[in-house]
Chain A
Amino acid sequence: MKLLTKALAATALAAVLSTTAQAKTLVYCSEGSPEGFTPALYTAGTTFDASSHTIYNKLVEFERGSTNVVPGLAESWDVSEDGLEYTFHLRKGVKFHTTKDFTPSRDFNADDVIFSFMRQKDPNHPYNKVSGGTYEYFGGMSMDSLIKDIVKVDDNTVKFVLNQVEAPFIANMAMDFASIASAEYAAQIEKTGNLDMFDQNPVGTGPFQLVAYQKDAVIRYKAFADYWGGKAAIDDLIFAITPDASVRYQKMKAGECDVMPYPNPADIKAMDEDPNINLMQQEGLNVGYLAYNNQKDKFKDVRVRKALNMAINKQAILDAVFQGAGKAAKNPIPPTMWSYNDKVQDDPYDPEAAKKLLEEAGVSDMKTNIWAMPVQRPYNPNARRMAELIQADWKAIGVDAEIVSYEWGEYLKRSSAGEHDTVLLGWTGDNGDPDNFMYVLLGCDAVESGANRAKWCNEEFNDLLVKAKQTTDIAERTKLYEEAQVVFKREAPWATIAHSVVFMPVSTKVKNYKIDPFGGHIFYGVDIDK
């Protein structure tokens, strides 16, 4: 009977909560479970939030809230005259986490750097095949062909020798896959033979260390007291895994979340009016696009692509899909990025002109499809709805499109194989370099590798990008990229749809949170009132 009364009192839950925690605890309602805790193995932002942004450090890091590269585990670095050798001078006195399985006997040094990169580069490395062993970002950023050698100069100096001049290299070193793990810990585990443990019980140098992970429910971290940058302001960091956006909002209102990512656009207005929520916003480093499969005959004529572009009512998409949380896109890179060419004129919304253009191209009764992603992304909060709108727009100029959707992995695979006619997708920047948008998504190499969903290889465009890659002078690179954007617009391999505006509802108790332009969620440097 006592139990029952106790149980009935449970409804007054929210009040109980605030009294249970004495330490400074920040609850982040994350959108999903991490794939694991070794950033190099995975690609999901959710995984990086739970690993590289908390547990690990990189040699160089992005300054929180910006795309500037600042020193991390390396205090400084030099580039040789020919641009092929990067020498990193490592920070001294950096401690690794102490866990129940591992007590570090030494500070961070060059061996850890070499271990972390060679695991990904060398197929004969003992850890190379552990945990599935695909290093997508390492391969995707072409690091294996780029890095010729990694040399330990002394305990605190490491030299990277490159095969060719690659201007974005230093920005790549700040990316998640470049997280540094402990070579000593790896060696200790190797003796036990159970190499999988290395990835399950992570040890890093980062500001937070993992306490417990309950699958699909919660991840707990505590602040690492000996962190080289000083202990984090919060004591405990909790990721409450909450896949449903409306549920996250609900929890936020109930005071069960302090920070939540990816709100429903539909809820933005109410959040803005809520006195307990600080609704932060920033233009995201991303672009949502519709790629025409240029290998299909029906899209080989640029007039067809242009006509379809002109038929799309972007304003309607911004209203219905982004509900105001977006900005129409005209270039393949976002406006916050250097070299964004604001002089480029977007294709106007003009169904009549579009119809005429189609007639000119001799196209009638066109049938096609629109692939719509099954998942919500920052650059496209609801691809299905977007597809429905485009479908209706195209119907108005006599083009019949069928909406196709697959499960996410299947979708990526089939679209990279070029099975689509047109596909909705997008991109969030990895390293803040225009190369990372244009070359990765539209370069000729990417047709083969699959990331170029438009299957579009234009010599003029590609030459400009290759040239920019090999130039270290920013002003000169800017010019090249601006020119590339003009070519892009003229050829219209994509319909550029929108850049999202990232909204981040943060409790007013939370101090000093900054939106990460890369779409990550970073809690070092954040404080909370109790």
Chain B
Amino acid sequence: MFGFILRRVGMLIPTFIGVTLVAFFFIRLLPGDPILLLAGERGISAERYAELQHAFGFDQPVLIQYFHYLTGLFHGDFGMSMVTRRPVWDEFFALFPATLELSFVAIVIAVVIGIPAGVIAAVKRGSIFDYSVMTSALVGYSMPIFWWALLAIIVFSGWLEWTPVSGRISVMYFFEPVTGFMLIDSLLSDQAGAFESAFSHLVLPSIVLATIPMAVIARQTRSAMLEVLGEDYVRTARAKGLRRVRVVGMHALRNALIPVVTTIGLQVGVLMAGAILTETIFSWPGIGKWMVDSISRRDYQVVQGGLLMIAMMVMLVNLVVDLLYGLINPRIRHR
């Protein structure tokens, strides 16, 4: 087992180096000089330009810059935003809890609805329920979520006036972040109405973000269940007269969940991509919106640092899923 873990982690090293290369060189290739951008429409004198080039290290050969960048990384230095002049690391962690909260709630919604829907659809294969679950799942899976978000705003915020349209909590509530999760912090703050406010802000974006993972999970659960239900031991159990619920719950579901867990793990990348659109539309102050804004502002250092941190996160989650899978399914370890 230990060897397996080592091997998997070892495989990540070249990928990690590749990712830093991509983040570093992509950004160098972007059109538009970052210093000129800093100076804006009124321009900058030649001496000043040279000074700043030096200050940012842009006057050195690219390979040296890359080396400095790498050594910086090992000291936790991910560069400094060119717009706000704050460390990228600080900005990332100031905004990350918002994305984490949104994604977490979304994945919970997706699992809580997706798995039971898939299980029931499989058990009642061919029924109207199965048919409608699979149809909705396919629609959800095909949904342009940015449009879905706009529709949700039109209906729930515009027509019904049930939910607010942007942000994480009403600005009337103010408390120092403790966990960074607005739902929890609002409860800890003991301010009347704070939790309701945080909750109502979270509902629409999390449902929108949950849509695709929910559809994927429901489909995956259904097919995994169908497979397991068709296997001998389940038939045997059923033949032995065990109750249907028990068969489905105890035997089939447990085995069916293995591939589903992997699927859930693999939704992290999907969630990140979804967060880019969802956060932009709902003005949710998280990583996705931050990246989009930084790309359009040509904030080199933020795009570079953000890309790297997001890639590291995805790699880490994939590694964990991989290891878990290896733990559950020993056959894979020796591949």
**Chain A positions near chain B (C-beta within 8 angstroms):** 6-7, 9-11, 13, 16-17, 19-21, 25, 27, 35-36, 43, 123, 129, 131-134, 136-137, 139-140, 196, 199-200, 212, 214-218, 220, 238, 240-244, 247, 250-251, 254, 256, 374, 407-410, 412-413, 416, 449-451
Closest to A25 in B: B172
Indicate whether A215 sits within 8 Å of B196 (C-beta atoms), given known contacts A129-B51, A244-B283: no
Residue of A with least CB distance to B197: A13
Bound-state CA distance A181–B170 (Å) is 32
The 25 listed contacts between A and B (C-beta, < 8 Å) are A6-B195, A7-B199, A11-B162, A11-B200, A13-B197, A17-B172, A20-B172, A25-B172, A35-B83, A36-B84, A215-B95, A216-B283, A216-B285, A240-B171, A244-B166, A244-B283, A251-B166, A254-B164, A256-B171, A407-B297, A408-B297, A410-B31, A410-B37, A410-B298, A416-B41
Contact call B163/A11, Cβ cutoff below 8 A: yes
Stretch of B42-50, B57-65, B125-133, B323-331 contacting A (4+ beta carbons < 8 Å): B42-50
Nearest Cβ on chain B to A92's Cβ, whole angstroms: 34
Q: How far is the CA of A129 from the CA of B171 in the complex (A)?
A: 35
- Additional A-B contacts beyond A241-B285, A449-B43, A450-B43 (4; CB < 8 A): A13-B200, A17-B197, A21-B172, A256-B164
Q: Which of B164, B191, B196 contacts A9 (CB 8 A)?
A: B196
- The contact of A250 among B158, B197, B296, by CB within 8 Å, is B158
**Interface pair A409/B297, CB less than 8 Å apart:** yes
A256 with B170: CB separation less than 8 A: yes
Query: CA separation between A131 and B38, bound complex, in Å?
Result: 11
Quote the shortest CB–CB distance from A424 to chain B (angstroms): 14
Measured CA separation A413–B283 after assembly (Å): 28
Chain B residue nearest to A413 in the complex (CB): B36
Contacts of A413 in B (CB 8 A): 32-33, 36-37
Most buried by B among A10, A251, A412: A10
Q: Which of B226-264 contact A (CB under 8 A)?
A: none
Min CB–CB distance B85 → chain A (angstroms): 4
Q: Is the CB of A16 within 8 A of B192?
A: yes
- Residues of B within 8 Å of A19, CB to CB, are 192-193
Contact between chains at A251 and B165 (CB < 8 Å)? yes
Contact A410 B32 (CB under 8 A): yes
Partner of B39, one of A13, A35, A136, A216: A136
Q: Give B262-301 interface residues, CB cut-off 8 Å to A.
A: 283, 285, 289-290, 293, 296-298
Chain B residues, Cβ within 8 Å of A131? 85
- Chain A residues with Cβ below 8 Å from B197 are 10, 13, 16-17
The reply to whether A412 and B171 form a contact with Cβ atoms under 8 Å apart is no
Q: How many residues in B have their beta carbons less than 8 Å from beta carbons of A?
A: 56
- Contacts of A137 on B, CB cut-off 8 Å? 42
Tell me whether B42 and A136 are in contact (CB under 8 A): yes
Report chain B residues within 8 Å CB of A43.
Answer: 40-42
Q: Could you say which of A13, A17, A35, A216 contacts B95, with CB atoms under 8 Å apart? A: A216
Question: Is the beta-carbon distance between A215 and B158 smaller than 8 angstroms?
Answer: no
- Check if A412 sits within 8 Å of B41, measured CB to CB: yes
From known contacts A35-B83, A132-B85, A250-B157, infer whether A10 and B94 are also in contact, taking CB-CB under 8 Å: no
**In this complex, what residue of A is CB-closest to B160?**
A11
CB-based contact A247/B297 at 8 Å = no
- CB < 8 Å neighbour of A36 from B85, B171, B193: B85
The chain A residue sitting closest to B166, CB to CB, is A247
Bound Cα distance A498, B159 (Å)? 35
For residue B51, give the distance in angstroms from its CB to the closest CB of chain A. 7
The smallest beta-carbon distance between A44 and chain B, in angstroms, is: 9
How far apart are A433's CB and chain B's nearest CB, in angstroms?
17
Q: How far is the CA of A36 from the CA of B33 in the complex (A)?
A: 21
C-alpha spacing A27/B167, complex, angstroms: 14
Indicate whether A247 sits within 8 Å of B85 (C-beta atoms), given known contacts A16-B192, A410-B31: no
Across the interface, which residues of A come within 8 angstroms of B52, CB to CB?
132-134
Q: In the complex the two chains form, what is the Cα distance from A416 to B298 in whole Å?
A: 17
Q: Are A20 and B171 in contact (CB under 8 A)?
A: no
The answer to the question of B13 belonging to the interface, with a C-beta cut-off of 8 Å to chain A, is no
Q: Of A21, A134, A242, which contacts B167 at CB under 8 A?
A: A242
B86: CB under 8 A from chain A? yes
> B48 to chain A: which residues have CB within 8 Å?
134
The answer on a CB contact under 8 Å between B44 and A134 is yes
A247 to B95, CA, bound (A): 21
| CB proximity to A under 8 Å, residues B181-216 | 191-193, 195-197, 199-200
Q: Which residues in A have their C-beta under 8 angstroms from that of B173?
A: 20
Q: Is B91 an interface residue (CB 8 A)?
A: yes
CB distance from B263 to the nearest CB of A (A): 28
Q: In the complex the two chains form, is A218's CB within 8 Å of B171's CB?
A: yes
Taking a contact as CB atoms closer than 8 A, the residue among A6, A129, A244 that contacts B196 in the complex is A6
Q: How far is the CB of B258 from chain A (nearest CB, A)?
A: 31
- Cβ of A178 to closest chain B Cβ, rounded Å: 16
B38 touches A132 (CB 8 A): yes
Contact with A along B78-101 (1 / 0, CB 8 A): 000011111000010011000000
Whether B161 sits at the interface, judged by CB under 8 Å, is: yes
Residues on B with beta carbons closer than 8 Å to the beta carbon of A212: 174
> A43-B40, A139-B42, A416-B43 are known contacts. Are A217 and B168 too (CB-CB below 8 A)?
yes
Cα distance, A276 to B82, chains bound together (Å): 41
What residues on B are CB-neighbors of A9 within 8 Å? 196
Please, how many angstroms separate the alpha-carbon atoms of A36 and B82 in the complex? 11
Note all chain B residues with C-beta closer than 8 A to A139. 42-45
Q: How far is the CA of A10 from the CA of B194 in the complex (A)?
A: 9
How far apart sit A451 and B40, CA to CA, in the bound complex (Å)?
10
Choose among A27, A238, A407, A451 the residue that contacts B296 (Cβ–Cβ < 8 A): A407
CB distance from A489 to the nearest CB of B (A): 25
C-alpha spacing A21/B197, complex, angstroms: 14
- The residue in A220, A238, A240 that gathers the most chain B C-beta atoms within 10 A of its C-beta is A240
B193 touching A16, Cβ below 8 Å? yes
Asked if B55 is at the interface of the complex by the 8 Å CB criterion, the answer is yes
**Bound-state Cα–Cα, A16 to B166, Å:** 18
Q: Report the Cα distance A35→B285, complex, angstroms.
A: 15
